[in-house]
A and B are shown apart, each in its own frame.
Chain A
Amino acid sequence: MSLFKRRTPSRQVVLPPGTRTCPTSISTVLTSSGIPSLDDILGGGIPLSCSLVVLAPDSQSAYGELVQKYFVAQGIASGHKVCIVHEDGLSFAKECMWTPASSSNDPMPVLDEDDAVQSEEKIKIAWRYEQMKKFETTVTSLPADHFCDTFDLTCRIPMSVIDEAHNTKRLIPLNLAINNDLASSMDGLVNQIRDVLATTPSTEVVRLCIAALGSPEWGECCPADILRFLYALRRLMRQYPHACACVSLAPHLCTGLWAGSGWVQKVGWVTDATITMSGFGANPALTALFPSHHGLVHIHKLPTPHSILPTSDRYSTLRGLASSAAANIGTGENNIAFRCMRKRLVFETMHLDLEGGVTERRTKPSSTAEIGQTPTHVSNTAALARVAVELEETLVDKKTQGHISFQGTESGTTDANPQKSKRAKKKVAFHSDKPDLYDF
């Protein structure tokens, strides 16, 4: 047994700053998108030499653009070279978020509205569950991690940082020179990008941000043009493996309405990773069903630069396929939704509300549950069984309003929002005359 020799690595590979190797394959280098939960979904980060497409079909919101801004901000923070393809790249960069100034020694993550509630109350919980850690719906990055910075949406990137990056040629705005022929102007853009990539040494990471591909400033696009561009971009990424790209399509291009059925799949096939963030904006029924989220996430394709199985399948906490129990028993993947809070954007697992789910763990009631004036009849149309949920509210005396409040703080004001003080009591109605309800 003494024949075993410890294998020591013959050479230490020095990685560029702001990157790390993938746990499953040593040849894959990952870089952060700026959002820890999105990194988790992608399997640790965006692999270099890959292109990520974010589709956001909701035309009233700008979730795709928000993800792009995180991408740019993380690139500037890590010292990478960032190229922005936009009508006015510099002003796009100026709108990015930044890390809050005083967060260097703070071990706690950024407190949001939800966290404030939990830290105030001490939940009475059965003794055997007291040692269990809190139910987590999302992942956050460690504060000492230099891979992904904690960005705060309330902080703008300082002008000095932008100017410094621009002057040292680390922030490069690129324009699409509009000719009469879109194909030739796209080719021109591809050549510009190739020039930037060719002149950058391979030890420096280049991040390519293409905001709003197919928007009016690009002219009249047809589906083949977009696909050709994405294909050419992917080839460029392969040719220069120290680069990665993040593309967001204009909202009207994100669904099959524009290009016919199968469009999203085509986009998925010609790129390395594709996700859709479909916001609830236009649909009040969905907002009522999932009050604590702003939209659903659909994953079409995940990056597999050096293997057949995506890293995310083995390591993603959010998707839920990582545990060996999931692999053996064959549980399905978690549903993922996103939420844009005051200070950050998170992707989290989506669970049905109190009475809607079969397996559900919640230690506190949802504070953002919608409360209506009259009992509303909300039916969960997603599942096959029909569950009727009725909301009834109990009126609270105005005098005691100050003592009962969701924030858990004593507020003496009596002119608090009357909606907040009403507590919704939900009950589920089991209809015995409809025997198909729980028919096993």
Chain B
Amino acid sequence: MQSFPPPDLASHIGLILITDEIQAPADFLIHGFLNLRLKDSKQSRCLLLSVSEDIERIRSVASKSSLNISQNARFKFIDVYSHLEESEAAGGSDAPDTSPRDSQLRRIFDLVSTELRSAPDSDGKSLVILDDIATLEWLGYSVLELSRLCRALRALCLKESATFLIRHHVLDRSELDPLSRHLLQLCSYHVEVRPLSSGRSGAVSGELCLHLGPVESKPVYPLITRSAALQYRLTDGGAMFFNRGTSEGVL
């Protein structure tokens, strides 16, 4: 039976973009990456910047794969929207030319940089997950501000040798919106989670592909093309993966 993500991918220094659709959400992938880093490496830290999910759900899903998030000191959960609300309530920014919303996102950047720099006991490799960026765009933050935030966070993660994961919701695969295009230009690897073209099925929940981003020149991990997509089936705590056309481990 297959497994995804490959362990080295979860420790790749750079931006990994995960795109999903409403018919095939990528929650299981986020938890998969989290599990991999927290279980395999005893020293790496994980920072989850969550816009849509709350800590309760993450805790209960993690407990299904016997991972105790609340006791784990290496895991830090940041509720992005509450920080944004606080900075909105705090008032305007110092520099007169930046808009108030700009400074709110700046606060998120400052938070992440303090977290990454204040971990002396780790082996230096951290995982930062931003879940998800599309909701921030729909709530009213402009594409410009969000792309600046992504670029800044990516540069920060490269400097601190951390893996940066961004989850983005795609509404229309044929016509990419500006934010998607911007993120695709920044990423080293792009994991695309799509529903089956024939609709929902009982045995297969969807399929995923791994593409190389424009930043990397040569792929280090084996890529998964759309024609040979890895199919998955959701379980309570994660997903089972199998090759397209086979039924290993499922039937």
A residues within 8 Å of B by Cβ?
Answer: 24-25, 27, 223-224, 227-228, 231, 235, 238, 241, 261-262, 265-266, 268-270, 300-301, 304-309, 313, 320-321, 326-333
Contact = CB atoms under 8 A, between A and B. Distances in A.
B151 to A, nearest CB: 24
Interface stretch (B131-139, B182-190, B211-219): B131-139
A301 B25 CA distance: 10
A231 B140 CA distance: 12
A419 B171 CA distance: 48
A266 B199 contact: no
Contact of B139 (A231, A268, A321, A327): A231
B22 A308 contact: no
Give me the 4 closest cross-chain CB pairs, A-B, nearest first. Answer: A262-B171, A330-B203, A326-B202, A306-B60
B36 interface: no
B171 A331 contact: no
B31 interface: yes
Given A265-B171, A269-B134, A331 B201 contact: yes
A87 B64 CA distance: 44
A298 to B, nearest CB: 11
B57 A306 contact: yes
B251 A328 contact: yes
Interface in B62-117: 64, 81
A309 B27 CA distance: 10
Nearest to B81: A235
Contacts of A268: 22
Nearest to B175: A261
Contacts of A309: 234-236
A96 B206 CA distance: 41
A308 B239 contact: yes
B202 A331 contact: yes
Interface in B189-246: 198-204, 234-239
Instruction: Name which of A227, A262, A326 has the most chain B CB atoms within 10 A of its CB.
Output: A262
Interface of B: 21-22, 27-28, 31, 52, 54, 56-57, 60-61, 64, 81, 134-135, 138-140, 169, 171-172, 198-204, 234-239, 250-251
Q: Which of A270, A306, A309, A326 has the most CB of B within 10 A?
A: A309
A238 B82 CA distance: 13
Contact of A266 (B56, B138, B237, B250): B138
A269 B31 contact: no
Contacts of B169: 265, 269
Contacts of A227: 138-139
Contacts of B139: 224, 227-228, 231
A306 B61 contact: yes
Contact of B21 (A231, A265, A328): A265
A331 B203 CA distance: 8
B200 to A, nearest CB: 5
Contacts of B57: 304-306
B56 A238 contact: yes
Nearest to A227: B138
Contact of B203 (A238, A266, A300, A329): A329
A307 B237 contact: yes
Given A262-B172, A269-B169, A308-B239, A231 B199 contact: no
6 contacts: A224-B138, A262-B172, A266-B171, A307-B61, A308-B28, A332-B201
A25 B60 CA distance: 10
B179 to A, nearest CB: 13
B60 A27 contact: yes
B22 A333 contact: no
Contacts of B171: 261-262, 265-266
Contacts of A328: 202-203, 250-251
Contacts of B203: 326-330
Nearest to A27: B60
Contact of A308 (B27, B172, B250): B27
Contact of B54 (A238, A327, A330, A331): A238
Contact of B202 (A241, A304, A307, A333): A333
Contact of A269 (B28, B52, B172, B198): B52
A407 to B, nearest CB: 39
Contacts of A300: 22
A292 to B, nearest CB: 23
Contacts of B235: 308-309
Given A24-B236, A227-B138, A231-B139, A330 B201 contact: yes
Contact of B237 (A224, A308, A326): A308
B143 to A, nearest CB: 13
Contacts of B200: 321, 332-333
A333 B199 CA distance: 8
Contacts of B239: 308
A309 B200 CA distance: 14
Given A326-B202, A327-B203, A330-B202, 10 more contacts: A235-B81, A238-B56, A261-B172, A269-B22, A304-B57, A306-B60, A307-B64, A308-B235, A308-B236, A309-B236
Contacts of A305: 57
Contacts of A321: 200, 202
A265 B204 CA distance: 21
Given A309-B234, A321-B202, A332-B199, A224 B52 contact: no
Contacts of A262: 171-172
A241 B54 CA distance: 12
Given A261-B171, A265-B171, A333-B200, A308 B31 contact: yes
A329 B247 CA distance: 10
A319 to B, nearest CB: 9
B135 A307 contact: no
A223 B171 CA distance: 15
Contact of B135 (A24, A238, A270, A308): A270
